[in-house]
Chain A
Amino acid sequence: MEWEVVIGLEIHAQLATKSKIFSGASTAYGAEPNTQACAVDLGLPGVLPVLNHEAVQMAIKFGLATNSHVAPRSIFARKNYFYPDLPKGYQISQMDLPIVGEGSLEIRLEDGTVKTIGITRAHLEEDAGKSLHEDFQGMTGIDLNRAGTPLLEIVSEPDMRSAKEAVAYMKKIHSIVTYIDICDGNMQEGSFRCDANVSVRPKGQQELGTRSELKNINSFRYVERAINLEVERQIEIIEDGGKVVQETRLYDVDKNETRSMRSKEEANDYRYFPDPDLLPVEIDEKTIDAVRKTLPELPDAKQKRFTSEFSLSDYDAEVLTSTRQMADYFEAVVKASGGEAKLSANWVSGALTGSLNKESIDIENSPVSAEMLGGMIKRIADNTISGKIAKQVFEAMWQGEGDADSVIESKGLKQVTDSGAIEKIVDEIIANNQGQVEQYRAGKEKVFGFFVGQVMKASQGKANPAQVNQMLKEKLKG
């Protein structure tokens, strides 16, 4: 039996406003419990919500960045249910008329093909507080600092057909929301959360299978794993003759399995109705145009530009544009290096990214600035140092020993390009290794490497490799 997997993702992006969506309390992360929960956030009797302008702007930005319809009129609705982290006993969200409607974006699959994934809608809502279960002997502690933080819930069409496609889509959304500065994308802190709706059906069947909702996945890797596990689980059930139950499941990272959430009850009746404390949000063309002007170059456009302007491969361009910060960094490096795009691409996505990841530093906090790296690359391009020596220079810069030129100077790393000097070394090596010379001349080509190694060693790595190669070839010809 051939199975088809159908996946839809619901992503909650916490919007990076300074204050909450309906109150003037701060949204800053990490504050002492309940010190950023004002009367409105606490749902005290008599309080009322007032809508944050910036949240609306951010939603519009997202709509524009995904070619989605921005609703001229949208309504907030109450989603009613009881839970201790939901102070009012209802969440202010949007139901029938969301602020952003249909749109789409493109994802690149591993084989290079491009697929369009539909966005059903994106709407504004308020976040709930947090529950802390440890430390309170049979009680749960509620922190409402997070209550009222603005969320943009982005709902995709069920267009994805594999866990990898889902991850590609999730990454694309992540890059878009961070590019347009509406979300910091920090999954560990919960600024970017993903729920996946997964179902399977026999290939060719039109009807969708019963879906389950996977919650609590806060990394790209876990999304892929959780979805694959769920697909396996569902297929097994059906092949054993059973039926998939519609339910919510949590992904358990430690056990690497999904488990059913302690059933709250059958489908919750949320009794949505328009919130009478809020009025319809009206957005005119003028407002949309003004927001459009503030949009930065978006990932897809930037990627296309990088491939043409810098002659980079699609893959390289994609890596370098995965965050706006990296893209900006890269362009600054190219500039500082005098236009060395390929070298810059290699160094940024290679050594720099590797070092950043090793120490878990963001590119904005890189000890090696774009100017410094560009400066170093300039010196590779102008043959002052070889690529190999550059590694040492990079390391030294990373450790704070100065910029490329000062490191090269202080450590005496200048490449030796003087053909006379190189010739002297080459002659000496050849003279001292007649045995290998014979071997090489007899046809053992591999021995060439030995000579190169010896020359480099004798020159402390500073001899220009290209010249060494050429000279050795000449002189060993015999």
Chain B
Amino acid sequence: MHNKTLSELSAALKAGEFSSTELTQSYLNRIAELDTHVNAYITVSDESALMAAKAADQKIAAGEAGPLTGIPLAQKDIFCSKGVKTSCGSKMLDSFVSPYNATVIEKFNQAGSVMLGKTNMDEFAMGSSNETSFYGAVKNPWNTDKVPGGSSGGSAAAVAARLAPASTGTDTGGSIRQPASLCGITGLKPTYGRVSRYGMIAFASSLDQAGPMTRTAEDAALMLNCMAGFDERDSTSAQREVPDYTANLSDSLDGLTIGLPKEYFGEGLDASVGKAVEEAIAEYKKLGATVKEISLPNTHLAVPTYYVVAPAECSSNLSRFDGVRFGYRCDDPIDLEDLYKRSRGEGFGSEVKRRIMIGTYALSAGYYDAYYIKAQQLRRLISDDFKRAFEEVDVIMGPTAPEPAFGLGEKSDDPITMYLSDIYTIAANLAGLPGMSVPAGFVNEMPVGLQIIGNYFDEARLLNVAHRYQQVTDWHQHAPAQFK
């Protein structure tokens, strides 16, 4: 059961091969047995999962099932889930049981899916290795001495280790795509505004997007069908129809023009990763695509720009965590100042505090123009680079990450080396463009991902491009030895 894709599971449930209850129980058993090796889950919600499975079984029996009815899924612990702890990977929210559901969770509930539990993540989504979680690091299922990537490390590891057939993640600077690449799975960050942010604990409001993390592009399309859509509770939600993302998956790629930014293949890229990506591009040529070299000249500014914009927004977004209405409160505060400072000082981990401080500094009097405004100007330049590129090409490709998964603890001493893991993914967030990572091979037995960036709201094309590749390769079907 645990090697079936979502579409296979859906068909099997409808055909009565097994029930959702059986399927769910099977996953819960696997999690109980194997999650200790990867620490992908913060909370496993056995009881409510089985209840949901039971309800799904009834729907299936009545012939009222949709494509995700009865399907067990893992949800990143950044989505507020009513009645189930939502920690965001932080001590600050260790005691927080959300009184309401995120829109994304609501949508999955309405689709009749089953929530297995909440997955581990870098604290408040800040990180690229899932080592900053209050609940301990997540291990890469391919090699448990290595990181799974972050911040959606738990979601990626859960899918790779077959501890969930699919999961959700969020991506602010690469947090879906980079862990997908490091764990050998498929991940999609939709266009900004495609999926509602209501109930998704905010890190950087103008960059955050939720998306699916699955083993196949087809599964990602099924998930996106459910997740996408206008939400009146989110002012930044796009009022745009949701097409059926599964409809054009197998369309021919004849005439597709792929842009390869020369800046993505230069210094900093591991040679073997570069080679794997080139082989993937070769496959695309066989599929009928033409390849063109393009330039995104402001690429080198993406990381510095991001590390002003994101911390600035997060420094403000995290001010609500003050020990007053929810979350961690320090013991015996002597006065209000003490309440704030110690609740926040003790409740937040060091990476979060670093980013809050950078952000506070960037917004403070005298520095706002030099940092924040400057960064937003560069953001426009970076975005314009892509606009120009998309006048010549249909999609842009390159490596998702500069190297395969690194060792646990290897980069945690120097924040900056960690930040550079996102060098290829960040620009898409700054521009708001959709991006995917698909498994494209192995280097030293560790997975490597191919990144595909599309134009605004062109997810259908991205999924088609990814799916066609998965029809002629089998990287996405490999499973880590321990978790086959």
| Chains A and B belong together in one complex | yes
Q: CB within 8 Å of B: which residues of A?
A: 39, 42-51, 78, 80, 82, 84, 87-90, 142, 269, 271-273, 276-279
B233 near A89: Cβ-Cβ < 8 Å: no
Residues of chain B within 8 A of A279, CB atoms compared: 235-236
CB < 8 Å neighbour of B320 from A45, A49, A271 = A45
Select the stretch in B10-18, B24-32, B52-60, B361-369 that faces chain A: B361-369
Residues of chain B within 8 A of A271, CB atoms compared: 316, 360, 363-365, 368
CB < 8 Å neighbour of B316 from A45, A48, A78 = A78
Residues of chain B within 8 A of A46, CB atoms compared: 79-80, 98, 102, 197-202
Please, which residue of chain A has its CB at the minimum distance from the CB of B234?
Answer: A48
B7, CB-defined interface residue at 8 Å: no
Residues of chain B within 8 A of A269, CB atoms compared: 364-365
Residues of chain B within 8 A of A82, CB atoms compared: 319, 322, 340
A271 to B317, CA, bound (A): 13
A87 near B198: Cβ-Cβ < 8 Å: no
Please, which residue of chain A has its CB at the minimum distance from the CB of B232?
Answer: A50
Residues of chain A within 8 A of B199, CB atoms compared: 46-47
A87 near B235: Cβ-Cβ < 8 Å: no
CB < 8 Å neighbour of A273 from B98, B233, B316, B321 = B316
B198 near A89: Cβ-Cβ < 8 Å: no
Residues of chain A within 8 A of B200, CB atoms compared: 46
B102 near A89: Cβ-Cβ < 8 Å: no
Residues of chain A within 8 A of B234, CB atoms compared: 48, 50
CB < 8 Å neighbour of B235 from A78, A90, A277 = A277
Contact A89 B319, CB 8 Å, known A50-B233, A271-B368:
yes
Residues of chain B within 8 A of A44, CB atoms compared: 80, 98-100, 320, 325-326
A45 near B96: Cβ-Cβ < 8 Å: yes
Contact A273 B372, CB 8 Å, known A50-B232, A90-B319:
yes
B49, CB-defined interface residue at 8 Å: no
Contact A80 B363, CB 8 Å, known A89-B319, A276-B205:
yes
Please, which residue of chain A has its CB at the minimum distance from the CB of B312?
Answer: A273
Q: Mark B86-122, 1 if CB is under 8 A from A, else 0.
A: 1010000100101110100000000000000000000
Residues of chain B within 8 A of A277, CB atoms compared: 202, 205, 235-236
Contact A43 B363, CB 8 Å, known A87-B320, A89-B320, A276-B206:
no
B271, CB-defined interface residue at 8 Å: no
A273 near B363: Cβ-Cβ < 8 Å: yes
List 17 interface pairs A-B (beta carbons < 8 Å), by A numbering.
A39-B99, A44-B99, A44-B320, A44-B325, A44-B326, A45-B326, A46-B80, A46-B197, A46-B200, A50-B232, A50-B233, A89-B316, A89-B320, A90-B319, A273-B312, A276-B205, A277-B205
B62, CB-defined interface residue at 8 Å: no
Please, which residue of chain B has its CB at the minimum distance from the CB of A78?
Answer: B316
Q: Mark B359-398, 1 if CB is under 8 A from A, else 0.
A: 0100111001000100000000000000000000000000
B368 near A273: Cβ-Cβ < 8 Å: yes
Ranked nearest first, the 10 interchain pairs of A and B with the lowest CB-CB distance are A89-B319, A276-B205, A271-B363, A276-B206, A46-B199, A43-B320, A45-B201, A46-B80, A88-B320, A269-B365
B86 near A48: Cβ-Cβ < 8 Å: no
A45 near B86: Cβ-Cβ < 8 Å: yes
Contact A80 B88, CB 8 Å, known A44-B99, A47-B198, A269-B364:
no
B324, CB-defined interface residue at 8 Å: yes
In this complex, the member of A44, A78, A84, A279 whose beta carbon has the largest number of chain B beta carbons within 10 angstroms is: A44
In this complex, the member of A47, A48, A89 whose beta carbon has the largest number of chain B beta carbons within 10 angstroms is: A48
Residues of chain A within 8 A of B312, CB atoms compared: 273
Residues of chain A within 8 A of B98, CB atoms compared: 44-46
B319 near A51: Cβ-Cβ < 8 Å: no
Q: CB within 8 Å of A: which residues of B?
A: 79-80, 86, 88, 93, 96, 98-100, 102, 197-202, 204-206, 232-236, 312-313, 316, 318-322, 324-326, 336, 340, 360, 363-365, 368, 372
Chain B's nearest CB lies how many Å from the CB of A125? 16
A45 near B80: Cβ-Cβ < 8 Å: yes
Please, which residue of chain A has its CB at the minimum distance from the CB of B197?
Answer: A48
A184 to B174, CA, bound (A): 50
Please, which residue of chain A has its CB at the minimum distance from the CB of B200?
Answer: A46
Please, which residue of chain A has its CB at the minimum distance from the CB of B102?
Answer: A46
Given contacts A271-B364, A276-B313, 6 further A-B contacts (CB under 8 A): A43-B320, A44-B100, A46-B98, A84-B336, A89-B322, A272-B363
Please, which residue of chain B has its CB at the minimum distance from the CB of A279?
Answer: B235
A45 to B202, CA, bound (A): 7
CB < 8 Å neighbour of B324 from A84, A276, A278 = A84
A277 to B317, CA, bound (A): 10
Please, which residue of chain B has its CB at the minimum distance from the CB of A138?
Answer: B335
A99 to B124, CA, bound (A): 34
Residues of chain B within 8 A of A90, CB atoms compared: 316, 319
Chain B's nearest CB lies how many Å from the CB of A228? 34
A269 to B318, CA, bound (A): 17
A279 to B206, CA, bound (A): 10
A272 to B367, CA, bound (A): 12
Contact A80 B319, CB 8 Å, known A45-B93, A279-B235:
yes
Please, which residue of chain A has its CB at the minimum distance from the CB of B124?
Answer: A45
B80 near A80: Cβ-Cβ < 8 Å: no
Residues of chain A within 8 A of B316, CB atoms compared: 78, 80, 89-90, 271, 273
B235 near A278: Cβ-Cβ < 8 Å: yes
A277 to B232, CA, bound (A): 13
A240 to B205, CA, bound (A): 53
Residues of chain B within 8 A of A273, CB atoms compared: 312, 316, 363, 368, 372
In this complex, the member of B99, B318, B320, B336 whose beta carbon has the largest number of chain A beta carbons within 10 angstroms is: B320
A50 to B326, CA, bound (A): 23
A48 to B208, CA, bound (A): 13
Residues of chain B within 8 A of A80, CB atoms compared: 316, 319, 363
CB < 8 Å neighbour of B325 from A42, A49, A78, A276 = A42
Residues of chain B within 8 A of A47, CB atoms compared: 198-199
A302 to B201, CA, bound (A): 52
A386 to B364, CA, bound (A): 73
A279 to B360, CA, bound (A): 22
Please, which residue of chain B has its CB at the minimum distance from the CB of A49?
Answer: B235
Chain B's nearest CB lies how many Å from the CB of A135? 18
A277 to B316, CA, bound (A): 12
A348 to B365, CA, bound (A): 55
Please, which residue of chain B has its CB at the minimum distance from the CB of A50?
Answer: B235
A470 to B325, CA, bound (A): 81
A279 to B205, CA, bound (A): 12
A126 to B121, CA, bound (A): 33
Please, which residue of chain B has its CB at the minimum distance from the CB of A38?
Answer: B100
A88 near B235: Cβ-Cβ < 8 Å: no
B325 near A43: Cβ-Cβ < 8 Å: yes
Please, which residue of chain A has its CB at the minimum distance from the CB of B373?
Answer: A273
A276 to B432, CA, bound (A): 13
A50 to B197, CA, bound (A): 13
Please, which residue of chain A has its CB at the minimum distance from the CB of B336?
Answer: A84
Chain A's nearest CB lies how many Å from the CB of B234? 5
Contact A87 B360, CB 8 Å, known A39-B100, A276-B205:
no
Contact A45 B322, CB 8 Å, known A50-B233, A84-B336:
no
Chain A's nearest CB lies how many Å from the CB of B100? 5
Chain A's nearest CB lies how many Å from the CB of B88? 7
A50 to B239, CA, bound (A): 14
Please, which residue of chain A has its CB at the minimum distance from the CB of B313?
Answer: A276
Residues of chain A within 8 A of B320, CB atoms compared: 43-45, 87-89
Chain B's nearest CB lies how many Å from the CB of A141? 11
Please, which residue of chain B has its CB at the minimum distance from the CB of A270?
Answer: B365
A51 to B313, CA, bound (A): 20
Please, which residue of chain B has its CB at the minimum distance from the CB of A23?
Answer: B233
A48 near B319: Cβ-Cβ < 8 Å: no
A277 to B233, CA, bound (A): 11
A80 to B368, CA, bound (A): 14
A90 to B205, CA, bound (A): 15
Chain B's nearest CB lies how many Å from the CB of A279? 6
Chain A's nearest CB lies how many Å from the CB of B207? 9
Please, which residue of chain A has its CB at the minimum distance from the CB of B366?
Answer: A269
Residues of chain B within 8 A of A276, CB atoms compared: 204-206, 236, 313
